[in-house]
Structure 1
Amino acid sequence: MAPENVLAGYVPDDRGRDALALALLLKRSTRGRLTVANVQPLAWSAPGPAKAEEWAWRAYLREAAAAALAQARELAGDDAEYVAHFRRGSGRGLMELARRRGADAVVIGSAPGGARGRITLGSTADQLLHASSVPVLLAPRGYGDDPPEAFERITVAYRRSRGCEAAVRAAVRTTAALGVPLRLVTLVVGARGGAERDLLTRLSDRAAADLRLAARGPRRRSEVEVEVLEGRTVAQALGTTSWLPGEMIICGSSGSGPLRRVFLGDTSIKIVKAAPCPVMVLTRQL
């Protein structure tokens, strides 16, 4: 099922606007609930004469949170809850809030300094992508400038494994809830010269067979598109296919990570960084 109780992390800049645009799209698509949170650092505890400075700092943090949430309300309207939270580490704060409020997904924007239309991972994403107990959705930089009206397709980054099978099952439920088609893609990455050519050809053939098998089965209620994407790098492979304005990629967590937690492996991190659309990273399932 698509996330219906979404927690969006908001900061008063482009990152916050991008996250909010993706969270609002989810909310409209599922008719679900949205909580917008601004996480501020904890104030220190100071004894004696320094107590006045501590109180001033606490007041400043409360005012900063209130100002950020007021800005978010101007963008998203009154049909959402707005929460200030104080925690050392914004990612940890969002994980804590997600547990308290029963959220089934956390949405954040890209870290500053990255390319437009791509996702850059900062400290908040790093914390969430290695410990969140609910799926994490990441919006590319600039997503809030011209967000799509609706989702158009879900693409699963697939390789044959137990974790990816769980991701496909989740994607089937998500596409059914959103009323959009499903696509499975497998990336075959490497140089195409010399002795590697035959090996990569065999890998591509095996990937195509795995995709055809994954696309069949009693749980598939409609046609599933499959593609093998080849390139020297993950970014080059992803660039060999078309991407719709309302696309979203779903990635499973690494099989070596903790159960029911998000934990990205090296290839998944490369997919997130090269993706031209939002990415949802699922928790690891049995």
Structure 2
Amino acid sequence: MDGFPEKILLATDGPVSMGTATRAAVDLAERGGAELHVVHVWHTVPSPHARGFIRSGLKEIGQDKLEQQVREIVETGGTVAGAHLREGQAVEAIVDQGERIGADLVIAGSRGMGRLGRLALGSVSTGLAHRSHCPVLIVPEGEKAWPPDRVLVGHGSFEDTEQAGFLGARLARTLGVEVELVGVTSESGDAQEKLHDLDRELESRADEIGKVVGTRPRVRALVGNVPETILGLYAGDEKRALLSFGSKVLGGAGRMMVGEPLDEVLNSSRGPILISPELHPASKSRVPEREQDEGPQRPAVLLATDGSEVSLRAAGYAARLADGLDAKLFALYVVDEYLTFRSGVHYGDFIKSLSENGREATGKVRALAEEAGVECEELIVLGRPDRAILTVAEEIEADPIVLGSEGTSRIEHVLIGSVSEEVLRNANRTVLVVGGHPEYARPKGESSGVG
């Protein structure tokens, strides 16, 4: 996307009155001259009785909600280029619809109606932030949320991408508000020297954005914890702000979650957040670019970890293997998306907790790799573990895949075992499964039953 979005897709839950996300979508479409499309996703519920009747009834309700939303947009003077009713899981269906129509921007609300609605729609918006391959604007409910009075573009310690700066500046120009490029450096070491270096980096980046977009951002270099500092900017200024972040996407595996600031701000912010994805450097589609800059690509070994003891044993094996092959080691942790609604907590809190577990697990693998003198990169993604492992392996062109056969408990022993079995069954490359959990080891002297 070279300029302002030409097609905007609004994901709606069909509220009774026009929500803030809808107002934002109509506003941006009118100001920028973009096509506005609306999508509503419905799904059936399992039932042993009258399944056809229930399904048709739920579909009809979904169609009514979609039509109601379109009417409300038209009544306020907006124009809808297309209305789309989809069946299935909300995040997957919205992402697919965006790809079908060639959407340049997806807009979703971050709260539904009532406690259950907040959980469901919050889950959808967070899921879109992790899954969408095009920019996503998440707009919270509330009269003060839209329109913003300024746009803050995260840089440096954030998951920085070129598009985050360009699109953030374009939105600011379209809305007629100021744009500010913000960078945060840690307090460790010589903070003043770091601040000076960051300020120069921000000025250079602001010049680049100004040349491309025609609007040069102001710059602000700060010292502190990234999420706390950014959330403090929201709280300490009366101006309503839209925060523009970058996000690294690894092909079909979705957004990488190693960047802690985005998840924390996404979970806590009360203002709109614009997330602009960019292909992760390890993506296979960027191989020609990497080879031009760095020379021939090195082999890759993928280690899938859940943080268990047997996973660490597998990690040690993978590190030695990578050393012998002169390969780069990738440590992958998959946050299981199917556990979210069974967690008993808000989706964002659950994702945050599991991604912290992931950082701890991959950090241990990195430590083992460093001891072996092997380059290691940590990857954390949201998805179904077996599919995510295979997708990541394909995307980074890793061979072999190394994983443990057991988890950290008896339940996880079954779950992880099924994951390794699925990976073995469906992989089109070498898979090495490392077993031997002490809890399940046979006591000394016990017969194996094999004559």
Q: TM-score, normalising length from structure 2?
A: 0.51
Inter-CA distance 74–137: structure 2 relative to 1 (3 Å threshold) = same
| Higher alpha-carbon deviation: 162-171 or 34-43 | 162-171
The alignment covers a number of residue pairs equal to 267
Q: Which runs of 5+ in 1 are unaligned?
A: 191-195
Judging by fraction of residues, say which structure has more helix. Answer: 2
Give SS of 1:284's match.
strand
Q: Which runs of 5+ in 2 are unaligned?
A: 280-285, 287-451
Counterpart in the other structure of 2:70: 73
Q: How far apart are residue 6 of structure 1 and its match?
A: 0.8
Counterpart in the other structure of 2:195: 204
Inter-CA distance 165–62: structure 2 relative to 1 (3 Å threshold) = closer
Structure 2 CA distance for aligned equivalents of residues 103 and 223 of structure 1? 26
Counterpart in the other structure of 2:206: 215
Q: How do 1:109-188 and structure 2 match up within 5 A?
A: 109-111=109-111, 122-140=122-140, 142-143=141-142, 145=143, 148=146, 152-159=149-156, 163-175=160-172, 180-188=177-185
Say whether the 8 Å CA contact 1:154–1:249 is kept in structure 2: yes
Q: How do 1:1-150 and structure 2 match up within 5 A?
A: 1-13=3-15, 17-42=19-44, 53-77=50-74, 79-80=79-80, 81-87=82-88, 89-111=89-111, 122-140=122-140, 142-143=141-142, 145=143, 148=146
Greater RCO, CA 8 A, separation 6+: 1
Structure 1 CA distance for aligned equivalents of residues 266 and 16 of structure 2? 19
Say whether the 8 Å CA contact 1:243–1:276 is kept in structure 2: no
Of 252, 264, 275, which residue of structure 2 is paired with 1:270? 264
Structure 2 CA distance for aligned equivalents of residues 266 and 120 of structure 1? 23
- CA offsets 1:195-240 (integer angstroms, 9 cap, x no match): x4x4444433332221122122472644420012344562344324
| Higher alpha-carbon deviation: 168-177 or 265-274 | 168-177
Q: How far apart are residue 174 of structure 1 and its match?
A: 4.5
Counterpart in the other structure of 1:280: 274
Inter-CA distance 234–189: structure 2 relative to 1 (3 Å threshold) = farther
Q: How far apart are residue 7 of structure 1 and its match?
A: 0.8
Counterpart in the other structure of 1:193: none
One-letter amino acid of the counterpart of residue 242, structure 1:
D
Q: TM-score, normalising length from structure 1?
A: 0.76
One-letter amino acid of the counterpart of residue 57, structure 2:
Y
Structure 2 CA distance for aligned equivalents of residues 146 and 171 of structure 1? 19
**CA-atom RMSD, angstroms?**
3.7
Counterpart in the other structure of 2:250: 257
Say whether the 8 Å CA contact 1:229–1:237 is kept in structure 2: no
Inter-CA distance 177–17: structure 2 relative to 1 (3 Å threshold) = closer
Q: How far apart are residue 181 of structure 1 and its match?
A: 3.7
- CA offsets 1:37-64 (integer angstroms, 9 cap, x no match): 11012576x9xxx6x7121122112121
One-letter amino acid of the counterpart of residue 202, structure 2:
L
Say whether the 8 Å CA contact 1:238–1:275 is kept in structure 2: yes
4+ residue segments displaced more than 4 Å: 160-163, 172-180, 259-264
Say whether the 8 Å CA contact 1:38–1:84 is kept in structure 2: yes
Give SS of 2:70's match.
helix
